[in-house]
Amino acid sequence: MDQQNSGRKRIAVIPGDGIGQEVIPQAVKVIQASGANVALTDFDWGADHYLRDGVTVPTGGFAMLARDFDAILVGAFGDPRVKTNIHAKEILLGMRFKMDLYANVRPVRLLDAALCPLKDVEPKDIDFVVLRENTEGVYTDGGGVFKQGTPDEIAIQEDINTRKGVERIIRYAFEYCRSHSKLDGSPRSNVLMCDKSNAMTHAGGLWQRVFKEVSGEYSQITAQHMYVDALCMQMIRDPRQFDVIVTNNMFGDIITDLAAGLQGGLGMAASGNIHPGKTSMFEPVHGSAPPIAGKNLANPFGAILTAAMMLRHLGSAREADKIEAAVLEAVRLKKTTQDIGGPLGTREAGEWVVEKVRR
């Protein structure tokens, strides 16, 4: 390996569908402007590719990503022309499941009070993270439909929870709490497990037992429990109380859209799909937003903050800091898209951050 390539991180870029194709190019420009030592390779996996030749993931695609790349940056999948959503399932859930990216890390941070729909809430009040189990639960899509189309039709949707799967995400949550501080520098100190064990007793029982056992190993961290319905109410009543939340795949999906609402909407929320030591995947929380796609309306900041999260994961903390600071300034100066109150388009908001990061 020559001098120039040493330490260079290889990133696969998959913009996907809809606004993914608009926000990811902005995130890519920002990465390049940050000076991070990366080599980017584009992949056109998504609805167009699928409709053209029937391929969602080329043969050996996941093995190639794991072998040839240090990280993957993804936009979104979902296209009204693909009614079955099969490509999203095979590409997005395929990466999560087949690459075993078991921790879906979704930070929830309020950059500016003006972005939060709640009154009297300051940025310092919202700085928590949701750790969503990412390889099991109802997302395994086990089950079936019987006697379809008859009055006796039966639909079964299985909820798969393994001891190994539950334990590793709960352990990840305690390790995350121990090793990450809040934005103001204060240490994290609480892990809250969220379930519905009062109604879903079999899966909930396993989560309860494992949580009790693992929390016992972390005497410096307080362990707390909330049912998911109560948690939703608390999240909009008083989000200050949350620190690290760990939950299953389904509840994690739902509560992170709710949490995105606290941050200024889906356009602001970042996420990582992580397996420590393996090639991990980073994507904004939002989807392909078909109604606004192709109109230069989509907020690129969720994708840009996702890029910063990816760079931090790859060891480029200085570049990540620069990007996050530039987005923060853009928000404060209202150099943003319309969804969060600014006058700019997707490209213009991205370009503003690029210029700030380059300086």
List, by residue number, the catalytic residues. Answer: 139, 196, 229, 253, 257
- Alpha carbon distance 112, 323 (integer Å): 16
Per CB under 6 A, does 253 bind ligand IPM? yes
- Say which entry of ligand IPM, ligand NAD, Mn ion, none residue 344 contacts (CB below 5 to 8 A, set by partner kind): none
- Alpha carbon distance 212, 223 (integer Å): 8
Q: Could you say which of 79, 127, 253, 339 contacts Mn ion (CB under 5 A)?
A: 253
Closest-approach residue to ligand IPM (CB): 253
Task: Give the chain's largest Cα–Cα span.
Answer: 69
Query: Which whole-number Å values give the CA distances from 169 to 142, 160, 176, 255, in the listed order?
Result: 21, 14, 10, 17
* Binding-site ranges for ligand NAD (CB under 6 A): 19, 23, 76-78, 85, 88, 92, 266-267, 283, 286-292, 298-299, 302, 339
- Alpha carbon distance 141, 323 (integer Å): 37
Interaction with ligand IPM in 51-110: which residues (CB under 6 A)?
A: 88, 92
The dihedral built from the CA positions of residue 173, 98, 22 and 68, taken in this order, carries a sign that is positive
Per CB under 6 A, does 270 bind ligand IPM? no
222 strand-pairing partners: 190
The dihedral built from the CA positions of residue 259, 261, 264 and 267, taken in this order, carries a sign that is positive
- Alpha carbon distance 359, 357 (integer Å): 6
- Say which entry of Mn ion, ligand NAD, ligand IPM, none residue 292 contacts (CB below 5 to 8 A, set by partner kind): ligand NAD
CB of 313 to ligand IPM, least distance (A): 18
Interaction with ligand IPM in 140-169: which residues (CB under 6 A)?
A: none
The dihedral built from the CA positions of residue 207, 209, 215 and 217, taken in this order, carries a sign that is negative
Return the structure tokens found at 216.
């016992």
Per CB under 6 A, does 351 bind ligand IPM? no
CB of 98 to ligand IPM, least distance (A): 15
Nearer to ligand IPM, 231 or 259 (CB): 259
CB of 256 to Mn ion, least distance (A): 6
Residues that bind Mn ion (CB under 5 A): 253
Residues that bind ligand IPM (CB under 6 A): 88, 92, 253, 285, 287
